[in-house]
Amino acid sequence: MRITWQPRLLVFCALIGAMDSTFAMETQTEFNAAYAVAEAAEKEAGILRNQWTATEAALAEARNMAAKGDFKRAIAAAKEAEALARASIFQATQEKEAWKDREIH
């Protein structure tokens, strides 16, 4: 009994396709997690009234890249947005106390 290469090729292609869709799901999940963290940090900055336009731009870029399926760049943009939001939070908390050092006694 002779087995041709065609059925093996079909099985191979199916396995590659399954692996590719699993990878895409993982990156979609990773993006969702990274974006949620960035968005939460941005909301915290909003509570402190210190949201930066650069953070909003990074969040928009993350959404745009995710919509295009470029999850590597989407995750990078979400992480950048998180870093910017955390920096704005740091700035707001520092400024909240720094005025005391500048006040004339």
DSSP state of 17: H
For the record, the structure tokens of 89 come out as: 């939070």
Summarised one tens digit per residue, pLDDT across range 14-62 is 545 555 555 566 689 999 999 999 999 999 999 999 999 999 999 999 9
Phi-psi group of 77: left, alpha or beta (phi > 0 → left; psi -120 to 50 → alpha; rest → beta): alpha
Per the listing, tokens 């099985």 go with 11
CA atoms within 13 A on the CB side of 21: 5
Question: In the predicted model, is pLDDT for residue 80 greater than 80?
Answer: yes
What does the pLDDT read at residue 9?
Answer: 46
> Which H or E element spans position 38?
helix 5-47
- pTM here is 0.73
Give residue limits of the domains in the chain.
Answer: 29-97
Confidence of residue 8 (pLDDT cuts 50, 70, 90): low
